[in-house]
Amino acid sequence: MIWKYLLILVAACLCGIDVKAEYEISTNPVVIRAGLYKEKCRPQFHFTARYWDDYRLNPQNHEEGWLNDMNGLIYNQGEYHFFAQRWWSAWLHAISTDLIHWEELRPAFGKGGKFGGTQSGGGVVDFNNCSGLGDGKEPPMIVFWSSTDNLNQCISYSRDKGRTWTKYENNPVLVHAFRDPNVFWYEPGQKWILILYGPSDAALRQRPMYGVKSREEIENCYLLFSSTNLLDWKKLDARIPIPSNAPICSSCRWTATRARGNGWSSMAMAIM
């Protein structure tokens, strides 16, 4: 067993880790490792995350600074807000003024409560306070996420430039399978558009699909919804079959792309 600890010490020295400081922090997980990006082996131009719930030299599965789905990039009053999944347990959160140097904040919000975990999604700044969730001082930042039942689409919001977040007490704002809602403002129509990956068959819209392995047997597509207040959504007739590389709006260019992994499909939207 001794040789294992010796190897850890050697690796720590090679990577420029202050073992004494790391041990002190491991006894107090609340302390932020300010020197994280000073580690010799840590990438400097790629965002990397710390593990927030605990810290130890031998992390278990999903305890190693896990970083997966990117949940959108929001620009608000001089700051870029970057969000990413830490599995389904939290939305990691970092800010930057130049898209190169990042300051990782505490996770915006995480699992727990009525709707369990917080899966992927996207966010916007409600500059005109269409939602009524603002306090009259700062425009609310609103992010959309799917619960782990893959049926309820929920929101969280911030009134202090993303420093603290609250899960909306009247969640869900939309009940429709499956997941990964993304929202943008459509100026010509003066409304918000939400795009969701899910089943085209209306009979399946109330059917939780968590854990289903045979998703290919269901005709999935990208579904569109509209809203004027970000809280009440109306399903549109338009839908985007998968796969599809064609624009979904004749007078503009809304381009839908997708990513696959282990039978899941998620999406991203670009407006050009």
Full DSSP string of 189-228: TTEEEEEEEEES-GGGTT---TT-S-GGGS-EEEEEEEES
Residue 77, phi then psi, degrees to nearest 5 = 50, 55
Active site residues: 69
> How far, in whole angstroms, is CA 76 from its chain's centroid?
17
Q: Residues 27-46, buried b or exposed e (16+ Cβ, 10 A)?
A: eeeeeebeeeeebeeeeeee
Residue (of 37, 162, 160, 142) closest to 100 by Cα position: 37
Tokens of 26: 């491991």
From CA 82, how far away is CA 162, in angstroms rounded? 10
From CA 195, how far away is CA 185, in angstroms rounded? 12
From CA 192, how far away is CA 142, in angstroms rounded? 12
